[in-house]
Amino acid sequence: MRIDVRQGSAHKIDLKKGTKVGVTIFSQIGFAAPQDLDLTSLHFGRTGTEDSLIRRGNPGKFDTSVVDGDGRLDLIVYVDAGSTGLRAGDMQAVLTGNLLGGTPIYGSDFVETIKPGK
Ligand SMILES: [Ca+2]
């Protein structure tokens, strides 16, 4: 699964608690992220086990947008950088979860992490 992690438009993430980071999950042939994912199962962070998603209700409301111009709606979830377990200098972040049928999914992206407030 292809994901893209950004704080605003940059890959550089301020690890301060409360920093909102967007994680785009790209749909592809045979996989529609907004429909096929079990949204309650998603975890994101240093190891992919962290409960860092910012949820509005349960399972929460997330954004959809055609991020990459391929005509397929992609899913955008938001996480609190302070809950990801990421440390300054980490260069990778991981998203894990399940499809609605229970199949586990995994994605990772390059990140640049900076100390809180720097
Ligand atoms: Ca797309």
Whether residue 59 has a cis bond before it, omega within 30° of 0 = yes
Q: Average pLDDT of 98-107?
A: 96
Domains of the chain: 3-114 (2.60.40)
45 Cα to the center of ligand 1, angstroms: 23
Q: What is the pLDDT of residue 28?
A: 95
**Does 94 have pLDDT greater than 90?**
yes
7 Cα to the center of ligand 1, angstroms: 19
Kindly report the pTM of this predicted structure: 0.92
Q: What is the pLDDT of residue 12?
A: 87
d(CA 54, CA 66): 21
65 Cα to the center of ligand 1, angstroms: 7
29 Cα to the center of ligand 1, angstroms: 10
Q: What is the pLDDT of residue 10?
A: 84
Note the pLDDT tens digit of each residue in 28-71.
999 999 999 999 999 999 999 999 999 877 667 799 999 999 99
